[in-house]
Amino acid sequence: MSALCRDIMNLGLQNILSLKPSEWKTMLQHCVQNIRDNFKEGKMQDGKSGLQYKSEQYKKYKANAMKRLTKTKVKKESTTGIEYLGRKKSKSGKRLSGFYAKAIESTQTAFVDMTLSGDLKKGLKVKSVTAQGGIIGYEPEDAKKIEGNRRYGREVVGLNEENQEKLKKEIVEIFRKNAQTILAKDIKIQITL
């Protein structure tokens, strides 16, 4: 290696294109938040959006916060006691067994928004980070939900193009800041012939 190459390396120029684990963690946390925001907006990670629910029954349950849809007879009081009319009226019952003790985050049914209970959204986290990158992923108990939604064409794994672009912009901005910091110092290059 020539003296010039060694001098350039000593300047720290190789650090311009390097990222710290803390920077990766911050960027990946932004990716997680972007995906969570996509859930609410009905955007999938394969670029699809505005998907409709396939089951009208599911839409009814979701709109009713996953409570049973029951029918009751309408009562009419009279002087001789209570008379039951033949008409039935819908009312909300108890929650379905799988949702009995869960909070319902969204009852919106205009489009698929992936936020019924919010469990899938909460399960998405930064799993690990190194100087070379990191991993975001869901909790193991979310695997069935992910696969079930995948069968309906709802992809929640990966990064859609919009989120990829946001990540690229963050990386370029860090490189720019690194370059400004490193190149702002006095550079002395000694050339010996």
In a domain, 11, yes or no: yes
Which pLDDT belongs to residue 98? 86
In a domain, 171, yes or no: yes
For strands 125-130 and 81-95, give the pairing: unpaired
Distance CA 142, CA 158 (A): 15
Distance CA 142, CA 122 (A): 10
Which pLDDT belongs to residue 89? 47
In a domain, 87, yes or no: no
Distance CA 36, CA 30 (A): 10
In a domain, 44, yes or no: yes
Mean pLDDT of 35-60: 95
In a domain, 192, yes or no: no
What's the domain range around 142?
A: 3-53+111-183
Task: Quote the tokens at residue 193.
Answer: 């012939």
Number of domains in the chain: 1
Residue 181: pLDDT over 90: no
In a domain, 97, yes or no: no
In a domain, 8, yes or no: yes
Residue 43: pLDDT over 60: yes
Residue 167: pLDDT over 90: yes
Residue 8: pLDDT over 60: no
CB neighbour burial string for 90-128, b if at least 16 within 10 angstroms, e if fewer: eeeeebeeebeeeebbbeebeebbbbbbbbbbebbebee
Strand partners, 81: 78
Which pLDDT belongs to residue 128? 97
| Position 84 confidence tier, pLDDT thresholds 50, 70, 90 | low
Closest Cα partner for 66 from 116, 122, 4?
116
Whole-model pTM above 0.85?
no
| Position 73 confidence tier, pLDDT thresholds 50, 70, 90 | low
| Position 68 confidence tier, pLDDT thresholds 50, 70, 90 | confident
Residue 83: pLDDT over 80: no
Which pLDDT belongs to residue 82? 55
Which pLDDT belongs to residue 78? 59
In a domain, 152, yes or no: yes
> 102-106: long-range contacts at Cβ-Cβ below 8 A with a sequence spacing of 24 or more?
102/66, 104/65, 104/66, 106/40, 106/62
Mean pLDDT of 118-123: 94
Contact 136, 33 (CB under 8 A): no
| Between 185 and 106, residue with greater pLDDT | 106
